[in-house]
Structure 1
């Protein structure tokens, strides 16, 4: 039996076990993820290889770390702990240079694109729905990505500050937009694109920190 087959069987068992533990049917998982029930069934029964986009949605709703599903499906996954400790996570210029020049991405990613995405989340961060999403989903997303390193530490600080009731509207807007960018799965770079999947999140954090510094925070 090939390693690919072994990986597929391991993935299928992971999904079935999680469904059973959470009392979810494949049909219910389908409605949560937007993936056809038949596709989920084929993946869980080792008859179809899961796409990274499938795995990201399954990870989101079964609360299984994405990296665990990727490895179980036989994908080669970069060690994010090593990546996150590198200098590319500490400088906007360095991150942007990596994103613009990378041959692994379909198209260059610029700081302007990240800023545009953050601006979309600013008003949402002030709504009750946006606030609930941040409060209820931030810690789960950190656990899902098995986050370590400086950008996760900064996000945790931002989350703690966001939850304080004494924040100004402007400060809360900045913090909330960055946290929502991290939580929501509509990133410019999908999170499953290793090792670049979280570089845009790092850039969003750096942009947020710079904006906060201008407020004297």
Structure 2
């Protein structure tokens, strides 16, 4: 598929979405805070939509960001195949993938994910943190389009958190993992799709390991 046809696919999709929602480009500009002229150029195939713009379009138009990325010509299928093995990837492999994307130039480390989880672990024990999880989890799932091998784990974690199944320590860990997924301030920004969810998958893995370690410790102590 040529570059021009990819851009045109996105333009056609955006025009159809605007029509379905009875929105003008000017109104989309107000909602997304993207200049109307820029939106017009993207729709007419005169400008490539950046991941940041696609993220905003997805949020304002209420569609999975995967749909927009595919229409814009980003290599979703190839990245998703690599993402399915993300939990088993080494830090070096993840760093190489990030660098090859040309969308992220910072250094990735497991320690940075752990540090963010520790911060969220404190926040999840507040009423505001609990409400954020309960009120925002489903919306975030819808925006993501339920992609990724870690989604089923997240759903299980959410049910445990919602039903308060676990010790205070376990619920704090689970909440931290859920907040990491929900909130956009990640080690790797979520808009860098789909690799923006590599760190979310790793965060879930870290939480699952800690929960398992805690369960094994309880069994040994009995």
* 1:96 aligned residue (91, 96, 103): 91
Please report how far the alpha carbon of residue 96 of structure 1 lies from its aligned counterpart in structure 2 after TM superposition: 2.5
- Structure with the largest fraction of helix: 2
Please report how far the alpha carbon of residue 38 of structure 1 lies from its aligned counterpart in structure 2 after TM superposition: 3.6
Please report how far the alpha carbon of residue 84 of structure 1 lies from its aligned counterpart in structure 2 after TM superposition: 4.3
For 1:50, the equivalent position in structure 2 comes to 49
Determine if the alignment matches structure 1 residue 180 to structure 2 residue 179. Answer: yes
Q: Distance in 2 between matches of 1:60 and 1:163?
A: 25
Q: Distance in 2 between matches of 1:28 and 1:158?
A: 38
Matches of residues 121-140 of structure 1 in structure 2 within 5 Å? Answer: 121-140=120-139
Kindly name which structure, 1 or 2, has the bigger radius of gyration based on alpha carbons.
2
Q: Distance in 2 between matches of 1:131 and 1:38?
A: 40
Task: Say how many residue pairs are matched.
Answer: 212
Q: Distance in 1 between matches of 2:32 and 2:175?
A: 24
Q: Secondary structure at the match of 1:190?
A: coil
Q: Secondary structure at the match of 1:205?
A: helix
Q: Distance in 2 between matches of 1:20 and 1:150?
A: 34
1:29 and 1:163, CA in 2 relative to 1: closer, same or farther beyond 3 A?
A: farther
Q: Deviations over 1:168-202 (max 9, x none)?
A: 43322221221121122222223354663322111
1:130 and 1:39, CA in 2 relative to 1: closer, same or farther beyond 3 A?
A: farther
- Could you tell me which runs of 5 or more consecutive residues in structure 1 were left unpaired when the two chains were aligned: none
1:6 and 1:85, CA in 2 relative to 1: closer, same or farther beyond 3 A?
A: closer
For 1:144, the equivalent position in structure 2 comes to 143
Q: Distance in 2 between matches of 1:206 and 1:134?
A: 18
TM-score under structure 2 length normalisation: 0.77
- Could you tell me which runs of 5 or more consecutive residues in structure 2 were left unpaired when the two chains were aligned: 217-222
1:133 and 1:30, CA in 2 relative to 1: closer, same or farther beyond 3 A?
A: farther
Matches of residues 55-204 of structure 1 in structure 2 within 5 Å? Answer: 55-79=54-78, 82-86=81-85, 88-89=86-87, 91=88, 94-102=89-97, 103-104=99-100, 105-148=104-147, 150-193=149-192, 196-204=195-203
TM-score under structure 1 length normalisation: 0.79
Native 8 Å contact 2:114 2:203 kept in 1: yes
Please report how far the alpha carbon of residue 52 of structure 1 lies from its aligned counterpart in structure 2 after TM superposition: 1.4
1:4 and 1:181, CA in 2 relative to 1: closer, same or farther beyond 3 A?
A: same
